[in-house]
Amino acid sequence: MPFDWPYFFSLFSVGAFWRACLTVIQLSLLSWLIGMAIGFLLALAKQSSHAWLRWPVSIYVWFFRSVPLLVLLIFFYNLPQLVPSLRWLLSQSFYAGLISLILTEAAYMAEIHRGGLLSVPQGQREAARALGIRLIGTQRLVVLPQAFRIALPTLTNEYITIVKLTSLVSVISLTEILLVGQRLYASNFLVLETLAAVAIYYVMIVTLFGWLLQWLERRLDLQRRRAATLTDDEVADIRRRLPPPPTPARAVQVPGQPPALQLRDIHKRYGDHEVLKGIDLKVASGEVIVIIGPSGSGKTSLIRTVNGLETLNQGEIVLFGESFLRAGERQSAAFHAGIHRIGMVFQSFNLFPHRTIVDNVLMGPRYHALGDGAAERPAALALLDKVGLLAHANKYPHQLSGGQQQRVAIARALAMRPEIMLFDEPTSALDPELVGDVLKVIRDLADEGMTMLIVTHEMEFAMSIADRVVFMEHGHIQADASPATIRAGGDERLKRFIGLSPEPPQG
């Protein structure tokens, strides 16, 4: 029997098919969007440290990924027989199909989202915490945009899967594309022609929405965005209209007043390994403390405890005379109030890759509503000008060199108007020729009177900028002295580490 081409082409003018297409689009889009939202919440719960939250979600994902969709469709459509109060909803095949698809897709979406969440580096969350951004704000502003961009190709593929799965709802008599075709070929027996038309309708829907989602994926692809460097004339014009960059008031330790920062008997363990073994340290206002020591001595752990990135096993941190953080204590109101007074610059920059340079600087002040909204952007541009990067304000982090990214990180921390700055090996990830620009910015901050704790391996820089050099080894502070005292005859182990004394002969 020859293929009936006239009949095949006539099927594309059948109104029932186009109405069925609309039903498929509604069903697939609603299941995809709602399933995606629920799946994200499930993914967050599955990553929770609380077993009472993590285990029920894991069981949900396991169960609904295991049960065939066809079984769910029939079950929910017939559920009013057991629960008559649900008849008003589930007796309508569209809603029975929608609920079945959502429950199934939420389980799959949870795993897709979890993959996206795991792909966002931990440093992104730490950078947000250092800006005082709380959990929900971190998820909304930092994690979710990056995780969604990473997961979008898989989510697009899942939408295509949903479109094809809608054909199963014909078993509960929902008038979708396949059911319209079945009714036609049951009356005229032109099975091949009808199913070919059904296939074309599905292909059209998948092609249209697949193209739209691929367009969205391209829009979110940061690698496709051009590096928009401002011209010299544009920079000069902006500079004329900028306010002067905020300069910290020169901090001076007043006799009788408490120090800016005090660490009391700080202990920190990772499992059975104790990395900090009773650290006591006072930092006066305006002081620059440089912390040095061999790898594994506890320098980075120490500086990370100061702003709460690491919990304390024992001890207390006091900020300007007020308790800031105690061992065993959850982050209190005093902590959240004090964290604004501490800026943090990381070894690996930890800029937010999905935001422009100026938006990186603006994120903290906007989240905390630190000033007049109209003045926020000019103030951020002024800070970028201060670190020599005004021309790059509209670029993205991946379009800058490592040294430029670190200077942006300094500007981002300064935008919070901190009274203390922490630097965790700010030049160790940089090529040697890029180190100088970063060190110059730090030196300028020291000249302005900023209170700073700096972990570094740059010995010459440490001796030139520090008011005191703190030498750590094996989790203890072995020496704490001014550069002049060290040069004049300080601890021999410290002098050898810095390179002021020759190594003893090996015998």
Pinpoint the residues of the chain covered by CATH 3.40.50.300. Answer: 261-498
Region 150-170 average pLDDT: 93
CB of 453 closer than 8 Å to CB of 422: yes
At residue 191, the pLDDT reads 92
CB of 57 closer than 8 Å to CB of 45: yes
CB of 202 closer than 8 Å to CB of 177: yes
pLDDT tens digits for range 48-66: 888 999 999 999 999 999 9
At residue 492, the pLDDT reads 79
At residue 153, the pLDDT reads 92
State yes or no: pLDDT of 474 exceeds 60.
yes
Distance CA 471, CA 455 (A): 10
Specify burial of residue 456 (Cβ count, 10 A radius: 0-12, 13-18, 19+): buried
Pinpoint the residues of the chain covered by CATH 1.10.3720.10. Answer: 5-220
Considering the four listed CATH numbers 2.60.40.420, 1.10.10.10, 1.10.3720.10, 3.40.50.720, the one that applies to the domain covering 5-220 is 1.10.3720.10
Q: Kindly indicate the confidence band of residue 162, based on its pLDDT and cuts at 50, 70 and 90.
A: very high
Provide the 3-class DSSP secondary structure of residue 449: coil
261-498 maps to which CATH number?
Answer: 3.40.50.300
At residue 327, the pLDDT reads 87
Distance CA 364, CA 160 (A): 39
State yes or no: pLDDT of 90 exceeds 90.
no
At residue 364, the pLDDT reads 92
Strand partners, 291: 455, 470
Region 446-466 average pLDDT: 90
Ranges of H-type helices in 79-121:
87-90, 93-119
At residue 505, the pLDDT reads 54
Q: What is the pTM of this model?
A: 0.87
Average the pLDDT over each of 7-11, 430-434, 438-442, 480-484 and give the range with the smallest value: 430-434
At residue 138, the pLDDT reads 93
pLDDT tens digits for range 214-252: 999 988 888 888 877 888 888 888 888 887 766 655 666
At residue 246, the pLDDT reads 62
If we measure between CA atoms, which residue out of 446, 462, 452, 443 comes closest to residue 500? 462
Mean pLDDT of the chain: 89
At residue 249, the pLDDT reads 54
